[in-house]
């Protein structure tokens, strides 16, 4: 092993920062949701669906990335990269576990308490077209590695998975949800268990994105991958990401009004992050932030 390599250090960082999704306290979320629903006049099916929408999207997203990471583990040959990838596979599985638990212990408990029908976290209504398209494309980009493992196809796979799905969609979405349910908006419930889970997940995602960035930088430097390929691949996916993050904040009964962050704030956050990262990947002289910085939560201070 090369203890000084980024992959090895990221691996160690993941081991040292281990957390258990089963240990996050969710009882307060149930209480707060019940009180919130009780307080709001005319709280109906649609209002409840809006609350569930983002949670359903993230839960299914974590399932999808857990299932679609294995091809990369199959083709990587470096031992330190392999070490890191085992932690990423395990962490994606933990993220999926957290959402499954949240639905069972919070959503269904609230619905049972109110005598409502239990909602299905995999119902088609949660997943709009851009969502399905983005995850389909991600899956194809990963599985292509099993047929045709070229530097360009690896770069494309990292662009889909690490830069776009994790780096832009997940980190932006989690930031939005963390802000929305952190207790600072009168119109939204305060969900401390959900926010704690998001916080841990975002921190893991920071490390995953850093690994992908570093792999891309190496592919440019050592395999002559054209940085344009990276830019173009991500740019093609951006409209899909936007279609997802905007969808979850729409009020179906009043499309002009949104809860939580102002219009455009999420998009601005995503673009800022992405611009910095592209520079760090494509500029040979620029450094990818150290792992401690990647797992620290940007945008919180
Ligand atoms: Fe994840
Ligand atoms: Fe991840």
**Interval between CA 202 and ligand 1 midpoint (Å):** 8
In a domain, 198, yes or no: yes
pLDDT less than 70: residues of the chain: 247-264, 266, 297-301
- Measured CA angle at 178 (ends 177, 179), to 5 deg: 90
Tens-digit pLDDT profile for residues 239-294 = 898 888 776 554 444 544 555 556 667 677 777 888 889 999 988 888 888 888 88
Distance between CA atoms of residues 188 and 131, nearest Å? 24
In a domain, 5, yes or no: no
**Interval between CA 284 and ligand 1 midpoint (Å):** 28
In a domain, 7, yes or no: no
Tens-digit pLDDT profile for residues 133-150 = 999 999 999 999 999 999
85 alpha carbon, closest ligand: 2
In a domain, 300, yes or no: no
In a domain, 9, yes or no: no
**Biggest CA pair distance of the chain:** 61
In a domain, 54, yes or no: yes
Please state the length of the chain.
301
Give me the number of domains the chain comprises.
1
pLDDT at 242: 83
Helix (H, G, I), strand (E, B) or coil at 87: helix
Structure tokens at 23: 């240990």
CB 71 within 8 A of CB 142: yes
| CATH for 35 | 1.10.620.20
Instruction: Please give the share of the chain, as a percent, with pLDDT higher than 70.
Output: 91
pTM exceeds 0.85 for this model: yes
Distance between CA atoms of residues 134 and 86, nearest Å? 24
Residues with CB under 5 A from ligand 1 (ion): 62, 92, 95
**Interval between CA 256 and ligand 1 midpoint (Å):** 31
Which among 21, 79, 28, 38 is positioned nearest to 204, based on CA atoms? 21
**Interval between CA 205 and ligand 1 midpoint (Å):** 6
pLDDT at 22: 98
Distance between CA atoms of residues 248 and 240, nearest Å? 13
Contacts of 264 (CB under 8 A, 6+ apart): none
**Interval between CA 292 and ligand 1 midpoint (Å):** 18
In a domain, 301, yes or no: no
Full 3-state SS string of 188-254:
CCCCHHHHHHHHHHHHHHHHHHHHHHHHHHHHHHHHCCCHHHHHHHHHHHHHHHHHHHHHCCECCCC
CB 185 within 8 A of CB 235: no
Q: What is the dihedral of CA 118, 169, 96, 113, to 10 degrees?
A: -20
In the chain, which ranges are E strands?
none
pLDDT at 252: 46
62 alpha carbon, closest ligand: 1
Range of the domain at 43: 25-294
**Interval between CA 215 and ligand 2 midpoint (Å):** 15
Contacts of 231 (CB under 8 A, 6+ apart): 278, 282
The dihedrals phi and psi of 250, each to the nearest 5 degrees, come to: -70, 145
In a domain, 11, yes or no: no
pLDDT at 285: 82
pLDDT at 251: 47
């Amino acid at each position: 092993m090369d203890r000084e390599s980024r992959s090895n250090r990221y691996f160690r960082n993941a081991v040292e920062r281990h957390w258990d999704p089963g240990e996050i306290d969710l009882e307060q979320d149930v209480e707060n949701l019940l009180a919130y629903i009780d307080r709001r006049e005319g709280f109906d099916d649609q209002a409840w669906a809006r609350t569930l929408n983002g949670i359903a999207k993230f839960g299914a997203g974590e399932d999808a990335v857990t299932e679609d990471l294995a091809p990369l583990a199959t083709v990587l040959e470096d031992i330190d990269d392999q070490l890191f990838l085992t932690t990423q596979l395990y962490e994606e599985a933990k993220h999926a576990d957290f959402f499954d638990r949240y639905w069972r212990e919070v959503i269904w408990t609230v619905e049972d308490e109110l005598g409502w029908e239990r909602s299905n976290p995999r119902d088609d209504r949660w997943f709009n077209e851009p969502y399905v398209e983005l995850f389909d494309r991600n899956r194809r980009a990963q599985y292509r590695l099993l047929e045709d493992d070229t530097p360009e196809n690896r770069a494309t796979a990292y662009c889909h998975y690490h830069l776009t799905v994790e780096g832009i969609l997940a980190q932006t979405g989690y930031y939005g949800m963390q802000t929305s349910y952190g207790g600072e908006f009168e119109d939204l419930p305060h969900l401390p268990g959900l926010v704690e889970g998001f916080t841990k997940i975002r921190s893991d995602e920071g490390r995953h994105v850093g690994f992908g960035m570093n792999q891309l930088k190496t592919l440019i430097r050592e395999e002559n991958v054209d940085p344009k390929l990276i830019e173009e691949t991500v740019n093609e996916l951006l409209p899909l990401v936007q279609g997802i993050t905007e969808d979850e904040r729409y009020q179906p009964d009043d499309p002009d009004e949104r809860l939580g962050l102002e219009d455009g704030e999420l998009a601005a956050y995503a673009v800022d992050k992405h611009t910095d990262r592209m520079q760090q990947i494509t500029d040979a002289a620029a450094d990818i932030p150290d792992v401690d910085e990647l797992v620290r939560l940007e945008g919180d201070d």
